[in-house]
Amino acid sequence: MATKLDTISHYQTPEGIELSLALAGPMARGMAWIIDFAIRVGLYFILAIIVGLLGGLGTAIILISLFIIEWFYPVFFEVHNGMTPGKKVMGLQVVHDDGTPVSWTSSLLRNLIRCIDLLPLFYMAGFITMLLNPRFKRLGDIAAGTLVVYHRDATKVFTIPDHPAAPAPVPLRLEEQRLVLDFCERSGTLSEQRRHELALFLNDISGGETPENRLLAYGNWFLRGKGNSESKSI
């Protein structure tokens, strides 16, 4: 079964370690942009007040400052910790395609290409590109080899909701077991309707009228180390 669970992107490192990256869609990224835009407008306003009394010199200073803030505000924060203030509020982070922290070169490139993404207006080109790209990349991300993902705290221990354990009706491959566990880990943060919708993607495994409950049962079975050593219906 080749189905990928929702917006999880998997990358295997040369050392054989598999990374799971939760991709951020246009809505979350748009909200982060609005927050960053509001912060930049506030900076412009404060700057205008400070240098407004300097006459012609003040005008030159504010024009240079506007350029620096507009184009290097996101670069500074992305290289520093992978996220602008807006992305931090939304729990997003910019990384390379392989999950490594974004570099100066990549951040500069993805942000300079914003001038193309915003065409013809309101970032329409970038929005359409994200909708067409399976990993929600805008043009800047494609050129720079970057992704915007949900930030995952490295110290956080991921658990799955407790549920009566039961084996899958048929032995599952390792990849299928991983999909089930991915679903279980995320189920606690999803609405009931969203859990049901995602569970239907794994209908070949789950089936029944409540596939989400069956997947939770399988996940608890795998977590307790019983894997596919037994096989029976529930």
Q: What is the pLDDT of residues 151-180, one digit of tens each?
A: 876 545 567 888 888 888 888 888 888 888
Return the pLDDT at 223: 80
Among 38, 66, 17, 29, which residue's Cα sits nearest to residue 141? 29
Any domain includes 157: no
Examine the domain organization and report whether 18 and 132 are in the same domain: yes
Return the pLDDT at 233: 36
pLDDT for 227 beyond 50 = no
Examine the domain organization and report whether 143 and 186 are in the same domain: no
Return the minimum-mean-pLDDT range out of 19-23, 43-47, 226-230: 226-230
Examine the domain organization and report whether 100 and 194 are in the same domain: no
Q: Which residue has the higher pLDDT, 233 or 148?
A: 148
Any domain includes 47: yes
pTM of this structure = 0.67
pLDDT category at 6 given cuts 50, 70, 90 is low
Examine the domain organization and report whether 186 and 145 are in the same domain: no
H or E stretch at 22 = strand 18-22
Residues spanned by the domain of 80:
8-150
Return the minimum-mean-pLDDT range out of 75-84, 118-127, 207-216: 207-216
Buried residues in 152-161 as b, exposed as e (16+ CB within 10 A): eeeeeeeebe
Examine the domain organization and report whether 17 and 66 are in the same domain: yes
Examine the domain organization and report whether 68 and 184 are in the same domain: no
Distance of alpha carbon 30 from alpha carbon 86, whole angstroms: 10
| The total number of structural domains that make up the chain | 2
pLDDT above 90 coverage of the chain, percent: 41
pLDDT category at 141 given cuts 50, 70, 90 is very high
Tokens of 123: 């970032």
Any domain includes 62: yes
